[in-house]
Amino acid sequence: MKIQEITLYVNGIQYEFSIGNKFGQIPPGETLSQTLRNRLGLTGSKEACGEGACGCCTVIMEGDAITSCMTLTVDCDGKHILTIEGLADPETGELSPLQQAFIDRYAFQCGFCTPGIIMTSKALLDKNPHSTEEEIKEALSGNFCRCISQYHVVQAVSDVAGKAGA
Amino acid sequence: MYSDDFKPENYRYVGKNAVPRKDAAAIVAGKATFLDDFSLPGMLIGYTLRSPHPHAMIQSIDVDDAKKMNGVMAVLTYRDVDQEWKMGWPPQKPILCRHLRYIGDPVALIAATDLETARAAAEKIQVEYEILPCVTDGMEAIKDGAPQLYEEFPNNVVTPGYPPFQKDGPFWHLIKGDPEKGFEECAYIAEDTVEFAKMPAPLAPEPPGAVVRWEGGDDFTVWGTSQSGYILKIINSSVIPNCNLDVHTFNVGGSYGNKQSLGYQVMSAALLSMRTGKPVKVFQTKVEQMTAFETRLGSQVHAKIGMDKDGVVKAVKAEWVVDTGAFCNATQGQVGVGIGEAQLVMAKCPNWDLDTNIVVTNKQPAGIVRGYGGQELNSCLFLLIGRTMQAGNFDPLECYKKNYVSDGDLYTWRDGRTWQAHSINYVKAMDAAAEKFGWKDKWKGWGVPTWVSEDGRKVRGVGCGIIGNADIGEDNTEAYVRIVPDLVGNKAHAVLQCNVTESGMGQRSNLVKMVADILNMPYEKVEITPADTGINPTGFGLCGSRGTITYGHAVSSAAEDVKKKLFDLAVPYLEVAADAMELRDYGVGCKARPDKFVTWKKLIMQDLTLTGYGQHIENFSTPNFFIVFLEVEVDKETGRVEVKKMVGGTDAGQVIDPLMIEMQCHGGIGSASLDTALYEEHIIDPATKRPLTYNMIEYKWRPFNNFPEYETSILESQFDTFQFKAVGLGEIAGAAAASATMQAISNAIGVSVSTYPATPDVILKALGKV
């Protein structure tokens, strides 16, 4: 069946899109990363490798961390998506405990891969609030960080896992 | 940890992590802007059609069908580009050229309304190529009869001495003393040809890119992913005659020295902007970054190194062939630094003949990566220094202590001038790091493992490597600090004006801390201007670990200058001399009398501000230092090597930012450093010369769940460098890690291994198993 329209719920906001190749429509080949970044202005997640290897484009869909550069928007009909922009309290602007832990532990250098790392960690902690260090490292094994902030990231995520409630 | 003679200062901000980085909240919230997050009205997308051949001449090119496509605004070939507009130092390569010199060399440039249209247009371009014989090995390239890449570089050797690096004249050949006589006095000599030439990828997460808007005439506004807008500006200003580049940068997604000049990205966007009259973005894909952007330099060395009976190097004779791929940019500076760093680790050696050739080959360009030439040469020379140490049965740690540069030693730096080391001695730092690692217990001698599993299959060995760099005082730089009284109330804020791009080091915030400390005001009340060559005074950005000393010096001097001006203005109010005054609570007070006080707002004329100026003048007299200890485990059945434990040691002078310096040490694992000894390499198909490691799936990199235990050992001394007595550090954190790993592997398996990277087949070959 040819899909004509889709609905996405991104950070709690409902978006309806028309699928097609006309101006303004979402072509069937458009990735979720492109839709989030170019259409919705959610540039927090980054697109770097375009083939699911670096994890910079990670967002959470229906509770799972996914690489949005490897996900076609047309396949996301009805899905709930959370991006890095949706973590802070929408009313007060207060950062989530995980975001605050990344600041407290200096868990980033250039910060390009940080949104993806935070989203992967968030998905892990939502499922497994008391993740061990080994589980944290395993979950993040698809997130590339070349400045080498890994040691501090593991501390930051472990801090939150110790307290629970990402 | 402090060395004996250091009394720590209790600064308000410096030396502490009491406040977050200025951009911390933006980074964790996804609000920090990187180039690809930025757009301009009417902006077009630039795309490049690239050569499928390592060496070819364009016979014919037909772009008519591409030009006719809806949404295509311009298609350019070499025929549209002035062939005298040359990129590189020395200028060598037109932006588009009929002569193609590597797989990925630009053939045509397209500007379109979107990337998909541009890519579709590229597929419609018809090209016929005359395929030429190619050369991809540096030592082959200099032989007579080898294919020639550039007419102006006979035998593919880049003409030495481009002025920006060596103002007194060319410097590429270090001659000192009498090497032949020196070797006669040596008890242990090693001679061989060794290489570190797999040209691995620095692999910043954010690919290189630029947005350029031609403003008409000679003016261009550039937004680049450069870690240094000023370096981008000076290197590219000689391409289009009289061009005036106003360069802006955002947060940069990793660079490691690699994303600086961005010659092709900027110049291709500039050409397309001139043609279309619109801003153009050129943002490379990861595959373009990995196959057509700069790798590490290739390094092949034939060297002879001699050590006396006490373990002191007394003579060095070497010919260093540096493969810069198909394009030479800052390589001459890198070679100068490589020569310099070799002298720092063999600083007591009076006899040198170290000759160099920079060679062009039919491979993707190679250039700056963290380590800047020093790592490339160090990784080679230490294989031979190791053999001399082994011949004399010396403990490497004891040898390093005898040979590493210290106060009073002379060396020739990349500017060709002789410098004398000043205020530094790192022996204590070596001992402290060795103790933390447990070197005394673990070191069992050359070729002897520290541990063997019961079944004999797994063995462990230890190694250590050292390196240092005097570039940490490089390049003149300036800064302004301006005090701006608040419009409401009696307080004030300060604006630090200097050109520093944030690419991961947190240095923008650390400079703000220095200003806040000197002016004794809250960190939150000090701002720093965006990185922009137009509004800021000159600053070369953060490269060569220069940020701490050079910006620290300029910024602190500017803050002290404005402080002095405030004191001068306060004399009539306080009626005491400047040395009896202090800054407090946004005002000037009398130290002895708390009631005597005047606000800055009152001292500064209404609605005006007060500015201090500071500068740093280039100085190469305080080399930094880094030592890496590591333990590896080798599986003799599979040939797999794992790093189990690392200790990184240094003396940083006054630590400015304890957590960031620790992360700078960790950074030595990334950016094609440690793992160039284990698995990081570009693999070139010998038949087609295509890079097989063209993406992040094929290219091997260390994942999150595979990091060794890492400890830092950072001493704090008080170096005579600038107001805060510190040295910069990050660049060299991993530069000796690869050579240390080779030493550890050789000790583990009892067989000398000299091939980078030591992949399982290398190990099994060394063990005679394949």
Please tell me whether residues B338 and B461 are part of one structural domain: yes
Q: What is the reported pLDDT for B163?
A: 85
Domain-terminating residue out of B283, B309, B334: B283
Residue B120 pLDDT greater than 90, yes or no: yes
Structure confidence by residue, pLDDT tens digits, B215-229: 999 999 999 999 999
Structure confidence by residue, pLDDT tens digits, B486-538: 999 999 999 999 999 999 999 999 999 999 999 999 999 999 999 999 999 99
Please report the domains of chain A, with CATH numbers, ordered by start residue: 5-86 (3.10.20.30), 97-163 (1.10.150.120)
Nearest to A148 among B21, B285, B670 (CB): B670
With respect to residue B182, please indicate whether it lies within any of the assigned structural domains. no
d(CA B723, CA B719): 10
Give A138's contacts in chain B (Cβ within 8 Å). Answer: 705
The CA distance from A99 to the nearest CA of chain B, in Å, is: 6
Nearest to B204 among A106, A138, A146 (CB): A146
- Please state the separation of Cα B727 from the chain's center in Å: 16
With respect to residue B422, please indicate whether it lies within any of the assigned structural domains. yes
User: Phi and psi dihedrals of B536, rounded to 5?
Assistant: -100, 155
- A87 to B29: CB separation less than 8 angstroms, yes or no: yes
Structure confidence by residue, pLDDT tens digits, A60-79: 999 999 999 999 999 999 99
Please tell me whether residues B312 and B417 are part of one structural domain: yes
- Position with higher pLDDT, B161 vs B421: B421
- B203 to A146: CB separation less than 8 angstroms, yes or no: yes
With respect to residue B157, please indicate whether it lies within any of the assigned structural domains. no
Q: How far is CA B698 from CA A66, B290, B692, in A?
A: 21, 11, 7
- B253 to A47: CB separation less than 8 angstroms, yes or no: no
Residue B344 pLDDT greater than 70, yes or no: yes
The total number of residues written for chain A in this structure: 166
User: Phi and psi dihedrals of B665, rounded to 5?
Assistant: -65, -45
pTM of the model: 0.97
Q: What is the reported pLDDT for B90?
A: 95
Looking at chain A from residue 54 to 83, which residues have their Cβ under 8 Å from any Cβ of chain B?
A: 54, 56, 83
Please tell me whether residues B378 and B494 are part of one structural domain: no
- A110 to B252: CB separation less than 8 angstroms, yes or no: yes
Looking at the 3D structure of chain B, how many domains does it have? Answer: 3
Instruction: Give me the half-sphere count of Cα atoms (radius 13 Å) on the Cβ side of residue B274.
Output: 17
When pLDDT is averaged across residues B742-752 and rounded to a whole number, the result is 98
Tokens of B725: 């007595």
Residue A165 pLDDT greater than 60, yes or no: no
Q: What is the reported pLDDT for B169?
A: 87
C-alpha closest to that of A116 among A141, A133, A92, A97: A141
Domain-terminating residue out of B581, B616, B651: B616
According to DSSP H, which parts of B454-546 are helical? 507-518
Interface contact A99, partner B, CB < 8 A:
yes
Residue B252 pLDDT greater than 70, yes or no: yes
Please tell me whether residues B636 and B490 are part of one structural domain: no
With respect to residue B165, please indicate whether it lies within any of the assigned structural domains. no
Residue B450 gets which letter from DSSP?
S
Structure confidence by residue, pLDDT tens digits, B681-739: 999 999 999 999 999 999 999 999 999 999 999 999 999 999 999 999 999 999 999 99
Please tell me whether residues B303 and B451 are part of one structural domain: yes
- Please state the separation of Cα B440 from the chain's center in Å: 33
Residue B6 pLDDT greater than 70, yes or no: no
Q: What is the reported pLDDT for A1?
A: 59
Give A112's contacts in chain B (Cβ within 8 Å). Answer: 34, 204-206, 251, 253-254
Please tell me whether residues B534 and B585 are part of one structural domain: yes
Note the ipTM here: 0.98
Residue B10 pLDDT greater than 60, yes or no: yes
- Domain holding B55: CATH number? 3.90.1170.50
d(CA B329, CA B261): 8
- Domain span holding position B42: 35-132+208-283
Structure confidence by residue, pLDDT tens digits, B56-88: 999 999 999 999 999 999 999 999 999 999 999
Q: What is the reported pLDDT for B357?
A: 97
Q: How far is CA A47 from CA A38, A54, A59, A70, B206, in A?
A: 11, 9, 11, 10, 8
C-alpha closest to that of B663 among A106, A134, A117, A154: A106
Please tell me whether residues B346 and B410 are part of one structural domain: yes
Tokens of B412: 């020739």
Please tell me whether residues B499 and B465 are part of one structural domain: no
d(CA B198, CA B743): 19
Of chain B, the percentage scoring pLDDT greater than 70 comes to 99
Residue A166 pLDDT greater than 60, yes or no: no
Domain-terminating residue out of B616, B643, B670: B616
Q: DSSP characters for A7-71? A: EEEETTEEEEEEBSSSTTSBPTT-BHHHIIIIIS---SS--SSSSSSS-TTEEEETTEEEEGGGS
Give B696's contacts in chain A (Cβ within 8 Å). Answer: 49, 51, 53-54, 144
Structure confidence by residue, pLDDT tens digits, B124-165: 999 999 999 999 999 999 999 999 999 999 999 999 988 888
Q: What is the reported pLDDT for B3?
A: 60
With respect to residue B57, please indicate whether it lies within any of the assigned structural domains. yes
pLDDT averaged over every residue in chain B: 97
- Domain holding B482: CATH number? 3.30.365.10
Give A100's contacts in chain B (Cβ within 8 Å). Answer: 28
Residue B369 gets which letter from DSSP?
-
In the structure, what pLDDT confidence band is assigned to residue B336 with cuts at 50, 70 and 90? very high
Give A166's contacts in chain B (Cβ within 8 Å). Answer: none
Residue A24 pLDDT greater than 90, yes or no: yes
Looking at chain A from residue 126 to 155, which residues have their Cβ under 8 Å from any Cβ of chain B?
A: 134, 137-138, 140-153
Q: Which residues contact B570 (CB under 8 A, 6 or more apart)?
A: B581, B588, B598, B603
Please tell me whether residues B459 and B515 are part of one structural domain: no
d(CA A160, CA A123): 13
When pLDDT is averaged across residues A34-56 and rounded to a whole number, the result is 97
Residue B467 pLDDT greater than 60, yes or no: yes
Give A99's contacts in chain B (Cβ within 8 Å). Answer: 28-29
Q: What is the reported pLDDT for B4?
A: 61
Looking at chain A from residue 100 to 129, which residues have their Cβ under 8 Å from any Cβ of chain B?
A: 100, 102-106, 108-115, 118
Question: Contacts from B638-643 at CB under 8 Å and sequence distance 24+?
Answer: B638/B760, B639/B759, B639/B760, B639/B761, B639/B762, B639/B763, B639/B764, B639/B767, B639/B769, B640/B760, B640/B763, B641/B678, B641/B741, B641/B745, B641/B758, B641/B760, B641/B763, B642/B708, B643/B674, B643/B678, B643/B708, B643/B741
With respect to residue B410, please indicate whether it lies within any of the assigned structural domains. yes
Q: Report CA Rg, chain A.
A: 16
In the structure, what pLDDT confidence band is assigned to residue B374 with cuts at 50, 70 and 90? very high
Measured from the Cβ of residue A104, the count of other Cβ atoms closer than 10 Å reads 16
Kindly list the strands in the beta sheet with B610-616, ordered across the sheet, starting from the edge strand earlier in the chain: B526-528, B492-497, B477-485, B610-616
Q: What is the reported pLDDT for B263?
A: 97
Looking only at Cα atoms, what is the longest distance across chain B? 86
Q: What is the reported pLDDT for B9?
A: 79
d(CA B50, CA B100): 9
Tokens of A132: 């061990």
Please tell me whether residues B653 and B753 are part of one structural domain: yes
Mutate to test the interface with A, among B28, B250, B289, B657 (most CBs of A within 10 A): B28
CA nearest to B503 within chain A: A110
Nearest to A141 among B24, B505, B703 (CB): B703
When pLDDT is averaged across residues B535-557 and rounded to a whole number, the result is 97
With respect to residue B573, please indicate whether it lies within any of the assigned structural domains. yes
Residue B594 gets which letter from DSSP?
T
Encode B333-371: b = buried (16+ Cβ within 10 Å), e = exposed.
bbbbbbbbbbbbbbbebebbbbebbbbbbbbbbbbbbbb
Structure confidence by residue, pLDDT tens digits, A98-156: 999 999 999 999 999 999 999 999 999 999 999 999 999 999 999 999 999 999 999 99
Task: Establish, for the pair of chains A and B, how many residue pairs have beta carbons separated by less than 8 Å.
Answer: 157
Q: Which residues contact B595 (CB under 8 A, 6 or more apart)?
A: none
With respect to residue B177, please indicate whether it lies within any of the assigned structural domains. no
Please tell me whether residues B578 and B653 are part of one structural domain: no
Tokens of B36: 């690809």
The CA distance from B36 to the nearest CA of chain A, in Å, is: 8
CA nearest to B671 within chain A: A146
Residue B605 gets which letter from DSSP?
P
Please tell me whether residues B642 and B761 are part of one structural domain: yes
